[in-house]
Amino acid sequence: MKIIKSFIFILTLMSFSYSNSIAEEAEAEPTTFKNTIHAMQLCETGSSLTNCVNPATIGSSTDGTTMDLSVRGSANSFGNAGLIPVGITYTHGQVILSRSFTMAGSVTTSAATCKTGGTAGTKTAGGATGNAGAVAEQVIMATNGTNYPTTMNSTSAIIDGTDADPGTVLAADDLLKFRWELSSPFEVTAGQIPTMTMTFDLSGALTFNDGDSSGNKGKCDGNDFHPGSPVITNTFK
């Protein structure tokens, strides 16, 4: 008998919510979306969106595995569902990844079409939107902040690192943790080796977020590129 369990989580990287009435937000699907993943984990009963209890690691790499998630099947090479311990119920998942993303694409706003390929983003600023040439790859980072969703936080190391508070990304950290709730609890029984597949919806993964209060709404004149929110679906069979 096949047992099928599916769960979906959203990497909600955006922390910026501008109250200024002239600010503009827009998003698009990038043609390139690269990130380095260091660990994939499942979290036992008692976990929450702010805490992963007794994480079972089903994929780990100190150097990390860099994948272009815009390429179909790229993430299937990371994580081994055969490593899931038998007889334990898991209710949440957690992934540890780099806070640095490499993207290529363009976002159309009310004023212009802004293209990646400009100055890289940093821990304190989004990626520059002023590239006047052809679309090219650009590094865009999750910036420092304390107003992220509590489903994520930065951490100092892959194993036994010091975690920032939920919803916080610290300047000293280079890694991020994301947690999500499984659509239903998942348990592997003896004799089963589940197959894990992953699919990605990147339709909003490149985000333009304009906090300019000078009247330049939607223009490609600032550090306004940020990682967006890819929806990731995992299926166990």
Both tokens of 121, joined, read 């983003």
Dump pLDDT digits (tens) for 203-221. 888 999 887 656 678 899 9
Highest mean pLDDT, choosing among 19-33, 102-116, 176-190: 102-116
55: confidence class by pLDDT, cuts 50, 70, 90: very high
- DSSP code for 63: E
User: pTM (2 decimals)?
Assistant: 0.83
| Residue carrying the six token digits 């190391």 | 157
Predicted confidence at residue 199, as pLDDT, reads: 65
What amino acid is encoded at 147 in this protein? N
Task: Name the residue range of residue 65's domain.
Answer: 5-236
Which residues are CB-contacts of 220 (< 8 A; sequence separation ≥ 6)? 109, 112, 113, 114, 115, 129, 130, 131
Distance in angstroms (rounded) separating the CA atoms of residues 212 and 130: 14
Predicted confidence at residue 75, as pLDDT, reads: 59
CA atoms within 13 Å, Cβ hemisphere of 19? 0
235: confidence class by pLDDT, cuts 50, 70, 90: low
Number of domains within the chain = 1
Give how far Cα 19 sits from Cα of 29, 210, 224, Å: 25, 11, 15
Dump pLDDT digits (tens) for 159-212. 889 999 999 999 999 999 988 887 778 888 888 777 666 666 788 889 998 876
